[in-house]
């Protein structure tokens, strides 16, 4: 026998915390008031009506749509019978079915249920007192108003829960998209930075192996470059894994100098004035853009020299990186780092201009507006 067949749920899990205790108290109090009230019906009929009340209540817990409306209509009819055969005051317990009505989504169904709630009072008053509007002269009127308000309150709460669920689902999708985008970014960074560094290590290791017998001193120098480039690769991996922690621009320039030297490319640097204070986010994005620019020089330019110039111009901090290599067309056709550079600079409100250099190679200009708030980091 499959034990799952006996896994019977007596109460909806999403309602246990909010409604279970209240519903138990209401049902117990109603049973007590019914059994102690003066009754025009016998005890068997009373117990049958109470059993029907429990059955409708249980069906309402699990029903939705038209079936829930039928439960509400039957419940209103049953409560009218309680009022006629026992006491009119038992109509206050119709609040249970008013609560169910608030979970009906269809507007026509909702209107029909509201009509049934209203009809209980004049029908009961007409049968018991001979005046359909007698209840207006009794304290029952406030209870009717409360019962008419309950469906609207529950409807609002249900809508709020639905919106929360949709928002949680949307946030989960956004998180998934963000993770996917982060994977793409990490793959791009690995391709644009670490890939070239590892290629350099491989080339120099093979060169050192070939030169080991012919020129041991040259092999030793090459292996020293391999060690230095390996340390650079380790630092790049650490930067990628820690993901956007502060990357100092000065350190990235020094690493770039080492990378260019490993590739046999001369490095020149000039600074027109003291570097202004940049936010950590701006400095990190600039550092990563410099890394990608210098990686492109090593990877695509076939240059013999690379110059980096730092300046403040027209209220902007500017970095210019230019080489004397093969030019812009070759870099755009072979590499993907240029779009990444432009994207990074846009993220911090800056920009990147990429064009030919005076030496025939490529010039990359990075700029960030200098604002007072940029100092806060």
pLDDT tens for each residue of 268-303: 999 888 888 888 878 888 888 898 888 888 888 888
The answer to whether residue 258 scores a pLDDT higher than 80 is yes
Q: Which tokens belong to 158?
A: 């249900």
Phi first, then psi, for residue 269 (nearest 5°) are: -140, 140
CA-nearest of 184, 188, 219, 185 to 204 is: 219
| Adjacent-strand bridge partners of 300 | none
13 or 294, greater pLDDT: 294
Question: In this structure, are residues 60 and 72 in contact, taking their beta carbons and an 8 Å threshold?
Answer: yes
CA distance 276 to 279: 10
DSSP-assigned beta bridge partners for residue 320: 309, 365
Tally the residues of the chain.
Answer: 377
- pLDDT given at position 242: 53
pLDDT at residue 208 is higher than 70 = yes
Percent of the chain at pLDDT above 90?
15
What lies within 8 Å, CB to CB, of 41 at 6+ separation is 49, 85, 86
Give the per-residue pLDDT at 301.
84
The percent of residues above 70 in pLDDT, for the chain, comes to: 81
Give the lowest-confidence range in 4-18, 54-68, 115-129: 4-18
154 near 185, Cβ under 8 Å?
no
pLDDT, mean of residues 172-185: 66
Tell me how far apart the alpha carbons of residues 124 and 84 are, in angstroms, rounded to a whole number. Answer: 6
Count other Cβ atoms within 10 Å, centred on residue 29.
12
């Amino acid at each position: 026998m499959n034990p799952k067949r006996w896994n019977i749920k007596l109460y909806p899990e999403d309602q246990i915390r909010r409604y279970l205790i209240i519903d138990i108290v209401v049902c117990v109090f109603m049973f007590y008031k019914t059994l102690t009230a003066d009754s025009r019906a016998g005890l068997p009929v009373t117990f049958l009506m109470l059993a029907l009340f429990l059955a409708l209540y249980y069906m309402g817990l699990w029903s939705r749509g038209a079936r829930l409306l039928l439960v509400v209509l039957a419940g209103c009819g049953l409560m009218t019978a309680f009022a006629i055969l026992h006491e009119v005051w038992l109509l206050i317990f119709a609040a249970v079915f008013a609560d169910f009505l608030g979970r009906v989504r269809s507007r026509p169904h909702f209107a029909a249920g509201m009509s049934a709630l209203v009809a209980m009072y004049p029908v009961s008053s007409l049968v018991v007192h001979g005046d359909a509007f007698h209840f207006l002269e009794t304290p029952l009127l406030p209870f009717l108003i409360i019962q008419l308000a309950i469906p609207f309150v529950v409807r609002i709460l249900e809508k709020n829960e639905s919106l929360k669920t949709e928002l949680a689902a949307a946030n989960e999708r956004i998180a998934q998209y963000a993770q996917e985008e982060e994977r793409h970014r990490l793959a791009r960074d690995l391709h644009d930075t670490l890939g070239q560094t590892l290629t350099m290590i491989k080339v120099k290791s093979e060169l050192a192996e070939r030169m080991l017998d012919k020129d041991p001193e040259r092999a030793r120098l090459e292996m020293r470059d391999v060690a230095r480039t390996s340390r650079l690769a380790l630092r790049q991996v650490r930067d990628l894994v820690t993901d956007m922690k502060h990357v100092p621009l000065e350190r990235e320039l020094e690493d770039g100098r080492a990378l260019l030297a490993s590739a046999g490319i001369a490095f020149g640097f000039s600074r027109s004035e003291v570097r202004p204070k940049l936010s950590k986010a701006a400095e990190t994005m600039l550092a990563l853009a410099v890394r990608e620019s210098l990686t492109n020089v090593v990877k695509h330019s076939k240059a013999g020299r690379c110059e980096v110039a730092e300046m403040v111009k027209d209220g902007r901090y500017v970095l210019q990186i230019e080489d004397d290599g093969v030019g812009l067309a070759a870099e755009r056709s072979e590499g993907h780092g240029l779009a990444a550079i432009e994207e990074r600079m846009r993220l911090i409100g800056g920009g990147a201009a990429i064009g030919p250099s005076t030496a025939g190679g490529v010039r990359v200009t990075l700029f960030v507006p200098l604002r007072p708030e940029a100092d806060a980091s």
